[in-house]
Amino acid sequence: MRTVADVAKMIDHSLLRPELTDDDVRAGCDLAARYDVASVCVKPCDVQSAAERLTGSGVAIGTVVGFPHGSSSSRIKAAEAHAAVNDGAGELDMVLNIGRLRAGEDEAVLADIRAVVESAPGIVVKVIFENAYLTDDEKIRACRLSEQAGATYVKTSTGFASGGATPADIRLMRAHVSDRVKVKAAGGVRTLDVLLKLNEAGATRFGATATAAILDELAARLA
């Protein structure tokens, strides 16, 4: 079984719910630092304060682009990404243009992803597909386009749609990107057993709000 430290460094502690206050975000950042997770994923308006609070902690600052529907123009997504990096973000989770993917407009989807990647050189970019709305063929095309655009990760879901990460989707996505591209699971990752099952399927990063419960459960099992 993996160590608590190993699993912690697979978790992006999610602080994206619209009702979260400044106090909630500060508490979430403190929890992320205490458990030494991979990153916090905060709303764009919270990037600067999170970066200040977590300086020197070893926890990366992530935020979202075109969230949650992916429907902003590519120009706006690129500007949003650039602003987030200037505020201190080192990781960006962008939602691709779901409608254009479903319509078969692959060149537009490619350009949309590439606009974000090129606006944030050297930054980890994770492309969110929102698999609840997609066929397997559309997921496969999204994998190919994300890799072609230079993304670092492909990601299952925002966590705000009707469905989230499944082992079948993780296996599909893992099979259709090269080893250079990693897979992130998000949506419904609320227990240790779910995380471990998705990890076995090929995911190496997880968006979660139940971070403390997951890691405390692993510590109890190892004890």
Global pTM? 0.97
pLDDT band at 117 (very low <50, low <70, confident <90, very high): very high
Fold of the 4-222 domain: TIM Barrel (3.20.20)
pLDDT in tens, 187-223: 999 999 999 999 999 999 999 999 999 999 999 999 9
* Termini Cα distance of the chain: 12
**Where along the chain do its domains lie?**
4-222
Q: Residue 89: its pLDDT value, please?
A: 98
User: Which residue has tokens 């619209």?
Assistant: 18
Tokens 């994206």 correspond to what residue? Answer: 16
Residue 91 · residue 80 · CB < 8 Å:
no
Annotated active-site positions, please?
93, 155, 184
Structure tokens at 111: 């350009």
160 by Cβ neighbours in 10 Å (0-12 / 13-18 / 19+) ranks as middle
Confidence of residue 63 (pLDDT cuts 50, 70, 90): very high
| Tens-place pLDDT, residues 66-90 | 999 999 999 999 999 999 999 999 9
pLDDT of residue 215: 98
